[in-house]
Homo-oligomer: A and B are copies of this chain.
């Protein structure tokens, strides 16, 4: 899926994309995900179904693309003055967003869309950690590898949100962040 690369802002292609994304977002508010069809989305967006098939391939890819836009962070992660604080703030916000009903649906849409789409989800998180780690280095703090943050913070949060019914608490994020920092010292 390469729908976001090389789209000139304001161009016809970008306007079609924005209109189709808006149609999907509106329809997801009104109906069950399983009820959505490409002709329904095309009618709402004012484009032909073949425009959607040509650009996105199929419904799953389109829903994955919209989900990817939704998880793109609004800005830089919060700067709390320490790596521990930054990871904690990031983790708590990530947990709250992902555990919400629309958040869980977004994750499932990314997975249904397949490899490329869900892989970009990991890249977005890694880019955010890049910012946190640069700050920590500037402060003179010892820093973990990005992969350790993925393995010890992101993965357990996503796994437990997807595979358990338990309500996750902020204290759990704290345990995970301690695990990340423990890995730096060793």
Contacts and interface: CB of A to CB of B under 8 A. Distances in A.
Interface of A: 108, 110-112, 115-116, 118-119, 121-122, 150-152, 154-156, 158-160, 162-165, 176, 179, 182-183, 186
10 contacts: A110-B163, A111-B111, A111-B163, A118-B164, A150-B159, A150-B160, A151-B159, A155-B158, A158-B163, A182-B183
Number of copies: 2
A115 B155 CA distance: 18
Contacts of A152: 151-152, 156, 179
Contacts of A111: 108, 111, 162-163
B186 A182 contact: yes
A139 to B, nearest CB: 24
Given A111-B111, A182-B186, A155 B159 contact: yes
A80 B115 CA distance: 35
Q: Which 4 A-B pairs have the closest CB atoms?
A: A155-B159, A151-B156, A155-B155, A155-B156
Contacts of A179: 151-152, 183
A111 B150 CA distance: 21
A159 to B, nearest CB: 4
A164 to B, nearest CB: 5
A119 B161 CA distance: 10
Contacts of A122: 163-164
A156 B150 contact: yes
Among A160, A162, A165, residue most surrounded by chain B Cβ atoms (within 10 Å): A162
Contacts of A165: 115-116, 119
B154 A121 contact: no
